Amino acid sequence: MKFRVERDALAEAVAWTAKSLPNRPSVPVLAGVMLRVTDGNLQVSGFDYEVSSQVTVEVQGDADGAALVSGRLLAEITKALPAKPVDIAAVGAHLELVCGSARFTLPTMPVEDYPTLPEMPESAGTVDAAAFASAVAQVAVAAGRDETLPMMTGVRIELSGSTMAMLATDRYRLALREMEWNPDDPEISLNALVPARTLHDTAKALGPLGGHVTMALSSGGAGEGMIGFSGGTRRTTSRLLDGANYPPVRSLFPADHNAEARVAVAALIEVVKRVALVAERTTPVLLSFSADGLVVEAGGTEEARASEAMEATFSGEPLTIGFNPQYLIDGLANLGAQHALLRFVDAFKPAVISPAGEDGEVIPGYRYLIMPIRVSR
């Protein structure tokens, strides 16, 4: 194998592929990225039996072939190279990489020991890449991080006709995003539970490419238990989580509310960050709403306290409610709007945060539910 490639294209391809490689692979070859050149195209791929990534880059190919090298090491090297064309050649059990006056010789691993990448499931439809990336970011923030509860570490994708809904919860907050997409089958009705981290990384990488992302999901037969995404020259597949017993979390959204507040998102985030400086990790920030506006306060150890007042439009009986400050900031930061509408039943029931337009009305599509923390005052 021998080829020449632009440095930026190579660095980008390797970085994206290496990102999904395992830190502690079960077998050494799974820490590698496969470089395969055929007909002037370089395929950079990685696979750990859970997630596969593959990107195609145009190169000047002198000799077709394949080589398997450490993904993280190659990613670090390509990122640090000068902005010049890169010449790569497989020589015996090594890979030689030359860029300007920089030269690297890397050991290779046996190509024949590397597992075959899974085939993409059949296409289910397409969705706007930028809108998809934005929607995934809004939802993935609420997914759990506790690997002992794998179901909570996923994002549930519900496909029903031309509507795509994404849900995620860690039991303390719940995010729901609904959007339009273009199904191949107008009657489609499918659900899938996708690992949140994989979905977020994939959407984040495909979003800036523009155009559309193709979602591949099989309802039976080949590719069952997997989901695939492709956009531009990139494609990725992931095993699905078992979502058979996923709880009916939509029922957590209150049917009605007794009070609501409209606040400026950026201002509230700044106030919560400041006030939370005195709070311990498990201490909530208190939000006190009244006709006069909003007061945010928190208390910490050794009588450290903080409070700050800010403008808010409020309707309903005065209310004081406590939230985990980081969960509150996560919800506000992902609204994608300048104003937020917070709706309450009472101080002990979940609150719902929605983006609000200039007219004060809810912008449909996204809701973020957050559980309050009971506080004694």
* Boundaries of every domain in the chain: 1-107, 121-248, 252-368
Query: Residue for token digits 């939000």?
Result: 287
Report in angstroms the alpha-carbon separations of 146 from 152, 232, 251, 256: 8, 33, 23, 32
Give 1-107's CATH code, choosing from 3.30.565.10, 3.10.150.10, 2.60.40.1930, 3.40.50.300. 3.10.150.10
pLDDT attached to residue 12: 94
Q: By C-alpha distance, which of 288, 280, 227, 260 is closest to 344?
A: 260
pLDDT attached to residue 177: 97
Contact by Cβ (8 Å): 302, 278? no
Query: Residue for token digits 């002990």?
Result: 348
Query: Residue for token digits 């509230």?
Result: 268
Question: Over its length of 377 residues, how does the chain's per-residue pLDDT go in tens digits?
Answer: 999 999 999 999 999 999 889 888 889 999 999 999 999 999 999 999 999 999 999 999 999 999 999 999 999 999 999 999 999 999 999 999 999 999 999 999 999 999 999 999 999 999 999 999 999 999 999 999 998 899 999 999 999 999 999 999 999 999 999 999 999 999 999 999 999 999 999 999 999 888 999 999 976 655 578 999 999 899 999 999 998 899 999 999 999 999 999 999 999 999 999 999 998 877 899 999 999 999 999 986 677 899 999 999 999 999 999 999 999 999 999 999 999 999 999 999 999 999 999 888 899 999 999 999 987 65
Three-state DSSP class for residue 156: strand
How many angstroms separate the CA atoms of 361 and 208, rounded?
30
Give 252-368's CATH code, choosing from 3.40.50.300, 3.30.565.10, 3.40.190.10, 3.10.150.10. 3.10.150.10
How many angstroms separate the CA atoms of 218 and 83, rounded?
42
Per CATH, is 121-248 categorized as 3.60.90.10?
Answer: no
Q: 280 Cβ partners below 8 Å, 6+ apart?
A: 300, 301
User: What is the 3-state composition of the chain as percent helix, strand, coil, each rounded to the nearest 5?
Assistant: 25, 45, 35
pLDDT attached to residue 62: 92
Domains 1-107 and 121-248 share a fold: yes
For β-strands 51-58 and 41-47, DSSP reports them as antiparallel
> Any idea what the Cα angle at residue 40 is, between residues 34 and 45, rounded to 5°?
20
State pTM to two decimals.
0.90
Torsion, Cα 160 162 168 172, to 10 degrees, reads -90
